[in-house]
């Protein structure tokens, strides 16, 4: 089902005017019914033009859990005028489809900059199913549902929505109040047009702990990556635990040499993998899965492109060290120490449960394949 939305706010005023494209809190009856209608995607096509051709703007998406009293940004995209004569041009038009199905209420606004607009055409709609353009080739047009395909194993889904410039916040689709953030501009990854993020060796996102992204007997991380440097130093992807020596943490590191190492914390146990088939300049889907209920040799699993890499274990504990503080994506600590060089895919999945039917790790091969096929890094 698709619903076309009407736009009546007109052209933004002046060089810094803001208009509302859509506000579910006001579009639907008091008390809110937007989240009950099954609308999963907000779609827009926006054409902006100015006499001098210098106008720029920003489309911002925000969510609310209190019927529109407070709005929290989760999406941003830039616009620009492509010419200086107001004639229709493809470069004037910005389109996108934004997943909004997890929110109670959403609002999308446009803020102008630099020059007064003379043209502002907005085509807006809501869709109950994933638009065709969001489905990868070979996926059979199946609606993506991370909870359904993993039967609750995926409990945190971080998805980048910053498509240019520094990534200050990476929303958690399943836990909207707990995004990954980076307030220091010099430590922010750079968002790309396809939703991926490039990291320069010191960039890092900080993730607050909550019940759905932490675990001592079951914890896992799945993501696309393309490394540009395979130096001999560690390239940590995420860690769980307090600051200090490795023995005080339960943490997951991905070695730049292509091997993997998991430190089990105070018990001193570790699991490591032989070097996987990872080279610079190639994208791979990585899934690191720790199952403390499994036999010793099967507790720690690394999958590269859904292929299990051989594991060597050394006294892996049944439970990792209890986590405190925050964990990080892209570097070993919040200062960006030992950060990776390369590109991280748009989506970062966290697992803290084992799905029914999984025989190695936390996911079945079919579920892991589904995650890999969703918005792959190419």
Question: For residue 133, what are the β-bridge partners?
Answer: none
Rounded to an integer, what distance in angstroms lies between the CA atom of residue 248 and that of residue 235? 19
Q: What is the pLDDT of residue 186?
A: 94
Helix, strand and coil content of the chain, in percent to the nearest 5, comes to 10, 40, 50
Per-residue pLDDT of the chain (378 residues; tens, 9 = 90+): 677 888 989 999 999 999 999 998 888 765 556 766 677 889 999 999 898 888 889 999 998 888 888 998 888 888 888 777 677 666 678 888 888 887 888 999 999 999 999 999 999 998 877 655 544 333 333 345 554 556 678 888 999 989 999 999 999 888 888 899 999 999 999 999 889 999 998 899 998 888 888 887 888 889 998 988 765 344 444 444 444 444 444 455 555 455 555 544 444 445 666 655 677 788 989 888 888 888 887 888 888 899 888 776 666 667 776 666 778 888 877 888 878 889 999 999 998 889 888 999 999 998 898 889 888 998
Helix (H) or strand (E) holding 349: strand 341-351
Token pair for 235: 């390239």
Phi, psi of 249 (to 5 degrees): -120, 155
Domains observed in the chain: 2-134 (2.60.120), 146-373 (2.60.120.200)
């Amino acid at each position: 089902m698709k619903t076309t939305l009407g736009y009546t706010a007109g052209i933004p005023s002046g060089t810094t005017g803001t208009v509302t494209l859509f506000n579910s809190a006001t579009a639907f009856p008091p008390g809110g019914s937007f989240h009950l209608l099954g609308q999963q995607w907000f779609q827009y096509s926006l054409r902006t033009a100015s006499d001098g051709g210098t106008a720029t703007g920003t489309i911002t998406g925000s969510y609310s859990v209190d019927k529109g009293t407070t709005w929290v940004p989760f999406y941003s995209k830039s616009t620009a005028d492509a010419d200086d004569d107001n004639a229709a041009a493809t470069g004037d038009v910005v389109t996108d489809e934004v997943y909004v199905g997890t929110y109670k209420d959403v609002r999308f606004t446009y803020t102008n900059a630099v020059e007064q607009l003379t043209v502002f055409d907005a085509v807006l709609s809501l869709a109950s199913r994933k638009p065709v353009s969001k489905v990868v080739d070979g996926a059979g047009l199946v609606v993506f549902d991370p909870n359904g395909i993993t039967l609750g194993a995926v409990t945190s889904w971080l998805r980048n929505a910053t498509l240019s410039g520094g990534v200050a916040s990476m929303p958690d689709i399943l836990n909207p109040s707990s995004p990954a953030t980076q307030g220091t501009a010099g430590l922010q990854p750079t968002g790309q047009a396809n939703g991926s993020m490039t990291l320069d060796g010191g960039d890092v996102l900080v993730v607050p702990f909550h019940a759905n992204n932490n675990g001592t007997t079951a914890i896992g991380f799945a993501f696309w990556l393309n490394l540009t440097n395979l130096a001999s130093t560690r390239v940590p992807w995420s860690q769980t635990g307090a600051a200090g020596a490795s023995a005080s943490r339960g943490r997951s590191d991905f070695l730049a040499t292509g091997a993997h190492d998991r430190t089990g914390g105070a018990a001193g146990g570790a699991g490591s993998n032989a070097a996987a088939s990872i080279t610079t300049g190639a994208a791979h889907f990585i899934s690191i899965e720790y199952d403390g209920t499994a036999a010793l040799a099967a507790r720690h699993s690394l999958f590269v492109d859904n292929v299990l890499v051989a594991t060597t274990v050394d006294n892996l504990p049944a439970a990792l060290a209890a986590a405190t503080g925050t964990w990080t994506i892209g570097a070993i600590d919040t200062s960006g120490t030992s950060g990776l060089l390369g590109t991280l895919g748009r989506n970062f999945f966290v697992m803290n449960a084992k799905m029914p039917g999984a025989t190695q790790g936390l996911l079945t091969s079919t579920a892991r394949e589904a995650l890999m096929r969703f918005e792959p890094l190419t």
